[in-house]
Amino acid sequence: MGIFDRLSRGRRTATEVPRAISASAEPGGVLAPVDGVATPLSQVSDPVFAQGMLGPGMAVKPSGNVIYAPVAGTVTSAVDTGHALGLTSGDGMEVLIHIGVDTVEMRGDGFNVLVEKGDHVEAGAPLITFDVEKIRAAGHDDMVMVSVMNASGKAMPAVAAGVRVRAGEPLFSLEGRA
């Protein structure tokens, strides 16, 4: 049983599914999951992510409301509250996408998961839609964190902090992976 198995089983809600975007990640590379501004994990308000406890990665201050697959792989976790999702890439990276800080407290309000555990997705496939305004109205930070939970190296940013990124563009790669 892996870490993603402990988070939960997948869920799917009825909603209009956004179109996939054109995206392709290099081996060891992770794409931006959402439009927004690139931010180092060390600058997010969640200390677990900021201290790298869940692995190296980066964050995006979202301007969009759709989470797209940052790698091709298998959905290994889709939590019932819809605020987080795990993917395992074909080369074994365990990628965690977490929407907001303390958004588990919202109990799924404002989140629609579009995939189920076990689904295979291509990079750029829509995974989750979310309501940024509901997150903010609930008093939560809406930062989207992306980490590679089973990485031993560090994240090498593909873009500088503060730069606008579009979903599907390179966000970071892992040191020593290619």
- Residue pair 127/28 in contact (Cβ under 8 Å)? The answer is no
Answer yes or no: 140 catalytic: no
* Contacts of 8 by beta carbon, 8 Å cutoff, 6+ apart: 77, 78, 79, 80
Distances (CA, A) of 94 to 22, 28, 36, 151: 22, 11, 23, 8
Q: Is 132 helix (H, G, I), strand (E, B) or coil?
A: helix
Q: Which amino acid is at 159?
A: V
Type of residue found at 169: E
Active-site residue, from 83, 98, 120, 140:
98
Nearest to 94 by CA among 81, 104, 84, 83: 84
**Catalytic positions, written as ranges:** 98
